C-alpha cells in the first residue's frame, strides 16, 4: 500500500494467515466424521476454509452426524487447542512482519474464528507476538463473512475501520473485513478472490514490513462511530 494512506492498525486473521493450522481443523473434522461412519473429503476441506466453528459443525451435521452443534464445536476447539499446545506452526514471515508493525507504532489486532481457548494457548507460546486486541469466534454473534469480528477488533483497538487493514487468506475473511470497512490484503489465498475484495494480493508474508503498509497516521481522538460504540457498552 502506498505511503500516506492514514492506516493506524493492522488486524490479522489467524488460521491460514499467521499460522498453518487449517489442517488441524480438517483433521478434527475428519476424525469426528470417521467415528460417526461418514466421510469428510478433500472437498469439505476446501469448503470449510475460513469457516467459523459453528459452520463447520453445521457441515458435519449436514453429512449426517446427529450430534448437537455445540458438542461438535467444543470437540473441534479442544482438539485444535491441544495441538497448538505442542506445536504452533507460524507461517514464514509472520512473526517478523508483526514485529516490524509494532516497531513502527501500528496497533496490531487479531480477528479470528478460532475459539478463545485456542488463542490463549497460542498466546502462551514462547515466541508469540503481542496483540493489542484479540477477538475470537466464540465472542461474536455472527462468524465470517459477517463483519462482526472486525468491527469488534476495531472498537477494542480504538480505531475507525477505515483507518485499519485486514490481512486474510480466505474469501470469507476478506468479505468480512471489507464489509466492516477495512482496507484488505489477501495473503496465501488458495480460492478465487473477486478483485473488489482485496486491495492487494501477497503470495506470503516473507519479507513484508511496516513499509508495505505505509506510515501510521498520528493518533487522534476516537472517531464518532467508535465513541458511540464505546458509550453503548458502558
Which three three-digit cell numbers place residue 173?
475473511
What residues contact 64, with CB distance under 8 A and at least 6 apart? 36, 38
Q: Is 13 a catalytic residue?
A: yes
The active-site residue, picked from 13, 15, 55, 160, is: 13
Kindly write down the DSSP assignment for every residue of 26-89, as one continuous string. HHHHHHHHHHHT----HHHHHHTTT--HHHHHHHHHHTT--S-HHHHHHHHHHHHHHHHHH---
User: What is the dihedral sign for C-alpha 32, 37, 43, 47?
Assistant: negative
**107: nearest Cα among 1, 219, 212, 3:** 219
Catalytic site residues? 13
Amino acid at each position: 500500500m502506498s505511503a500516506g494512506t492514514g492506516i493506524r492498525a493492522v488486524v490479522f486473521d489467524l488460521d491460514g494467515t499467521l499460522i498453518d493450522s487449517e489442517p488441524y481443523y480438517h483433521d478434527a473434522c475428519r476424525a469426528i466424521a470417521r467415528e460417526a461412519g461418514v466421510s469428510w473429503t478433500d472437498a469439505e476441506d476446501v469448503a470449510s476454509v475460513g469457516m467459523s466453528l459453528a459452520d463447520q459443525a453445521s457441515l458435519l451435521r449436514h453429512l449426517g452426524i446427529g450430534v448437537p452443534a455445540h458438542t461438535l464445536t467444543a470437540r473441534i476447539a479442544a482438539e485444535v487447542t491441544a495441538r497448538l499446545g505442542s506445536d504452533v506452526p507460524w507461517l514464514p514471515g509472520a512473526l517478523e512482519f508483526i514485529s516490524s508493525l509494532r516497531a513502527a507504532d501500528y496497533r496490531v489486532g487479531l480477528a479470528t474464528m478460532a475459539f478463545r481457548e485456542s488463542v490463549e494457548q497460542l498466546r502462551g507460546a514462547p515466541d508469540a507476538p503481542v496483540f493489542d486486541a484479540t477477538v475470537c469466534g466464540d465472542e461474536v454473534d455472527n462468524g465470517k463473512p459477517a463483519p462482526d469480528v472486525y468491527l469488534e477488533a476495531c472498537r477494542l483497538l480504538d480505531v475507525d475501520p477505515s483507518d485499519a487493514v485486514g490481512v486474510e487468506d480466505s474469501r470469507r475473511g476478506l468479505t468480512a473485513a471489507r464489509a466492516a470497512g477495512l482496507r484488505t490484503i489477501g495473503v496465501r489465498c488458495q480460492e478465487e478472490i473477486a478483485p473488489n475484495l482485496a486491495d492487494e494480493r501477497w503470495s506470503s508474508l516473507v519479507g513484508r514490513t511496516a513499509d508495505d503498509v505505509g506510515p501510521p497516521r498520528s493518533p487522534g481522538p476516537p472517531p464518532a462511530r467508535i465513541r458511540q460504540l464505546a458509550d453503548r457498552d458502558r
